Amino acid sequence: MGLSEEIRRQLVESFKVEQAEHVQKITQGLLALEKKPRGKRRQALLEEIFREAHSLKGSARAVGMATIDGLSHALESLLLDAKEGRLTFSPELFDLLYQSLDAVEATLDRVEAGEVAPSAEVLALLARLEEVSARVKAGGWETMAAKAIETPYEPGPEEEVEPESGDEPDSMASQRPVAAGEETIRVSISKLDALMAQFSELLGAKIRAEQRLAEVRQMQTMAANWNKEWLALRGSHSRLSRNGHNGHNKDVEALIAFTDKNQAQLRSLMAQTNTLYRQFGNDNLRLSLIVDELQEEIKRVRMLPLATITASFHRMVRDLARQQGKEITLVITGNETELDKRVLEQVKDPLIHLLRNAVDHGIETAEERQQAGKPAEGQIHLAASQQGNNMVVTVSDDGRGLDLPAIRQTAARRGLMSLSEARKLTDADAAALIFSSGLSTSKIITDISGRGVGLDVVRQNVEELHGTLDVSSQPGQGTTFTLTLPLTLASSRGLMVRAGSQTFILPHSTVERMLQVKRSDVASVEGREAIIYRGKPVALAWLEDLLELPASPRDGERLTLVVVSVAEKRLALVVDTLEGEQEIVMTSLGKQLAKVGGIAGATVLGSGRVILVLHVADLIKLANRTRSRTPFVTEARLEESQRRRTILVVDDSITTRTLEKNILEAAGYQVRLASDGEEAYATLIAGDAPDLIVSDLNMPRLDGFELTGRIKQDKRYADIPVILVTSLDSPADKARGIEVGADAYIVKSDFDQGNLLETIEQLIL
């Protein structure tokens, strides 16, 4: 490739980015003008999009793209006529302007494909634009508008090149002024991807370095144990040494000389091992700090606002509504919410389909809405917000809602279940059927819907991102789809658990709590196993059953549980053991194993061992199909567990008693009060025992230590948990609290209501 060709290629690449920004801003301006603003706002919009059209023309002329130059010039002329009052906008004119913008993008695609000559459709569109300008000058735009709408511009098949998600401009960023002193550069997405790939290798090296450090630690421990054994036998060695020399036994003398030498070598080995461990530990700590900081920086660089993909949504909804003769407004909030570029790329298509689905299925025609007492114009709302490590996106409309009877009948007709089974489904379960492959209630198949290959693909795409998709609907009021997605798919930490003689990793973002429960605490809820967690029943499942692994033998009456959650859905997983925390870099298992239920991917430990990473959203679904195996207690026990728990607050300060009472009652507990230990103990003797006691220490008549001691020594009340809340934080006071049998010790200087409530939940779960 010659230099001139290389320069031209670079110019075209730069123009592509610049052109996309200009087209996007013109599109946004036209969409705003369609809302019929008045006065200064209207004039400001016309000025802005006129400048963008002028800049687009200049850029196209600079790189020698005559066709785009001509289209831009025609746009500029029409916008100038509108700005100077010679042209009035109409729906047909807006259609023509949008078609011109489409033609600009299609022409650039042809140039990139090596086709320099403009297509016949673009030439016809240029001719119509010129005729419109001529008609405007002659005062005959209405006639031209009718003619233009009869033959709308449609890109040919070779021109319908959808730009990749990652190449779309960040409209919000492009419109924000750059702060004084702030410098920016454009960086290719491919370079960021390559940087992220190299970082994954670096993170793997860090994990392996941590493994080597652990191995050095084992060597250090082995040398220390070796030295300990030598010290225990040194007396025997000394006696043998003396006897050996006295007896002139050459073999014994040789062994003694060898052990003397080994003793010196052992001391040297211990010193070297200790030095190596210390230095290796320092180096590893430094490496960890650098890698962690680099990881956060790369994550931030890859984070892009949602506006990166939503810029074209307004135009899409507008065009679809025009095609169907509907009046629809799209409202987007949370455009500034940032998430990883890869997540953005993969969530764009699901969001597009949900919006198209809302236009086609959700929103009624203006006549239908007015007959139902609604405004003629329907509304679709796309909202995004960050919740912890997840982003929650909702797509809602104020349309007709889901036709649940039709969904049930279609499911039966498609053979998904019998009609009687479909009729027994709850409304929520019936609504979830729309995510089944091949199910569509559309009365006609169109290019927008009715083919039955939409929402199931949306669900699959969301689940590939380790997210969830839910739907809720109200007849006549509308439908809401909720997507819960991780902000980033980069490396993270996980909890290693063992089940069915195998080790797995649960992503930290899904682990809510680890606990142990008695088998007798497992209850039955609608025929399924459950525990009471934070006052509510949570389904319980055995991890080895969900993954269809051989059952592990278990002794004892306690079960080890990990409570996991995704999008407010919880599941208590029974595991054999917890094996600690591990930093992970998850990789895909490949297409052959992409559909293995419950498995999200795999990670390689520093030792080279491959561990499977679990897909919690899948596990929650699998739990609904897995049979129970734990002997159930009665429903009465469940009701007993769900009753409001009673807490006795003991404190001689009325202010503290009132504060704690308000905190606990707001959390749903029943609260009784006592002013000192004597009064509290009298309450117990009277037969009014609480579920838990929160007590101060310094009180008249009977202090907190003495009260706790009496309670724990009395068999009738020994099982009641006691939390001591005090300003005494010395080791001696804490030791005494442990000695008298307190279940928790909270220092008032560290006190906050979250800490208190969490401690209570742990003790009376």
501 and 358 within one domain: no
Task: Please write the tens of the pLDDT for every residue from 417-439.
Answer: 788 887 888 888 788 888 776 56
Tell me what the mean pLDDT of segment 471-494 comes to: 81
CB under 8 Å to 309, separation ≥6 — which residues?
Answer: 165, 168, 344, 347, 348, 351
CATH code of the domain containing 358: 3.30.565.10
pLDDT band with cut points at 50, 70 and 90 for residue 171: very low
Query: Residues 616, 511: contact at Cβ < 8 Å?
Result: no
CATH code of the domain containing 98: 1.20.120.160
Give me the pLDDT at residue 486, please.
76
311 and 296 within one domain: no
Answer yes or no: is pLDDT of 554 > 70: no
Give me the pLDDT at residue 155, please.
46
Answer yes or no: is pLDDT of 211 > 70: yes
- Whether 236 maps to a domain, the answer reads yes
- Split into its structural domains, the chain has a count of 5
Query: Letter for the amino acid at 362?
Result: G
Answer yes or no: is pLDDT of 104 > 50: yes
650 and 703 within one domain: yes
Averaging pLDDT over each range in 201-210, 604-613, 661-670, 711-720, which range is the top one?
A: 711-720
CB under 8 Å to 204, separation ≥6 — which residues?
Answer: 585, 604
Helix axes 91-112, 141-150, angle to 10 degrees: 50
Give me the pLDDT at residue 453, please.
38
Query: Residues 637, 518: contact at Cβ < 8 Å?
Result: no
Q: Is the dihedral of CA 610, 616, 619, 621 positive or negative?
A: negative
Q: Which of 581, 615, 639 is the last residue of a domain?
A: 639
Burial of 132 (0-12, 13-18, 19+ CB in 10 A): buried
What strands, in cross-sheet order, belong to the sheet with 328-333?
A: 328-333, 378-387, 390-397, 478-486, 468-474
132-135: Cβ within 8 A, 24+ apart: 132/78, 132/93, 132/96, 133/74, 133/77, 133/78, 133/81
The more confident residue out of 127 and 574 is: 574
Query: Residues 523, 632: contact at Cβ < 8 Å?
Result: yes
| CA–CA dist 681, 674 (Å, integer) | 9
560 and 515 within one domain: yes
**Sequence-ordered alpha helix ranges (H) in 550-703:** 616-623, 635-642, 654-666, 677-685
Nearest to 283 by CA among 218, 212, 223, 219: 212
Answer yes or no: is pLDDT of 386 > 80: yes
Give me the pLDDT at residue 395, please.
93
324 and 203 within one domain: no
516 and 597 within one domain: yes
- Whether 182 maps to a domain, the answer reads no
Instruction: Please work out, in degrees rounded to the nearest 5, the angle formed at the alpha carbon of residue 524 by the alpha carbons of 616 and 743.
Output: 80
Three-class DSSP labels, 364-420: CCHHHHHHCCCCCCEEEEEEEEEECCEEEEEEEECCCCCCHHHHHHHHHHCCCCCHH
344 and 474 within one domain: yes
| CA–CA dist 47, 32 (Å, integer) | 13
Q: Which of 268, 303, 338 is the last residue of a domain?
A: 303
| CA–CA dist 249, 294 (Å, integer) | 65
386 and 299 within one domain: no
pTM: 0.54
629 and 567 within one domain: yes
Tell me what the mean pLDDT of segment 144-159 comes to: 42
Question: Residue 655 belongs to what domain range?
Answer: 644-764
Query: Residues 523, 638: contact at Cβ < 8 Å?
Result: yes
CATH code of the domain containing 739: 3.40.50.2300
583 and 498 within one domain: yes
Grouping H, G, I as helix, E, B as strand and the rest as coil, residue 161 is coil
pLDDT band with cut points at 50, 70 and 90 for residue 451: very low
Q: Which of 303, 334, 357 is the last residue of a domain?
A: 303
Give me the pLDDT at residue 183, please.
61
Give me the pLDDT at residue 228, please.
84
Size of the chain in residues:
765
The more confident residue out of 620 and 594 is: 620
Give me the pLDDT at residue 445, please.
34
Give the rounded distance of the alpha carbon of 442 from its chain centre. 32
Q: Is the dihedral of CA 598, 566, 291, 583 positive or negative?
A: negative
Answer yes or no: is pLDDT of 205 > 60: yes
| CA–CA dist 68, 113 (Å, integer) | 15
Tell me what the mean pLDDT of segment 327-339 comes to: 88
pLDDT band with cut points at 50, 70 and 90 for residue 379: very high
Tell me what the mean pLDDT of segment 619-643 comes to: 57
E strand map for 41-109: none
Tell me what the mean pLDDT of segment 619-644 comes to: 57
**Sequence-ordered alpha helix ranges (H) in 248-365:** 250-302, 307-310, 313-324, 341-357
Give the CA distances from residue 483 to residues 395, 423, 462, in Å, rounded to whole numbers and listed in that order. Answer: 8, 27, 7
The more confident residue out of 264 and 183 is: 264
- Whether 185 maps to a domain, the answer reads no
- Whether 186 maps to a domain, the answer reads no
Answer yes or no: is pLDDT of 632 > 60: no
The least confident of 280-289, 311-320, 531-540, 548-557 is 548-557
Query: Residues 497, 504: contact at Cβ < 8 Å?
Result: yes
Answer yes or no: is pLDDT of 389 > 90: no
Nearest to 376 by CA among 367, 386, 388, 384: 367
Tell me what the mean pLDDT of segment 602-629 comes to: 75
Report helix, strand and coil shares of the chain as percent, to nearest 5.
Answer: 55, 20, 25
457 and 422 within one domain: yes
Give me the pLDDT at residue 167, please.
37
Answer yes or no: is pLDDT of 745 > 50: yes
C-beta atoms surrounding 680 within 10 Å: 25
Task: Please write the tens of the pLDDT for every residue from 69-87.
Answer: 888 888 888 888 888 778 8
Q: How large a percentage of the chain has pLDDT more than 70?
A: 80
Task: Please write the tens of the pLDDT for every residue from 91-102.
Answer: 888 888 888 888
The more confident residue out of 349 and 479 is: 479
Give me the pLDDT at residue 647, please.
92
Rg of the chain over Cα atoms, rounded to whole angstroms, equals 36
Grouping H, G, I as helix, E, B as strand and the rest as coil, residue 737 is helix
The more confident residue out of 398 and 752 is: 398
* The two structure tokens encoding residue 692: 């838990």
Give me the pLDDT at residue 707, please.
93
648 and 635 within one domain: no
Average predicted confidence (pLDDT) for the chain: 77
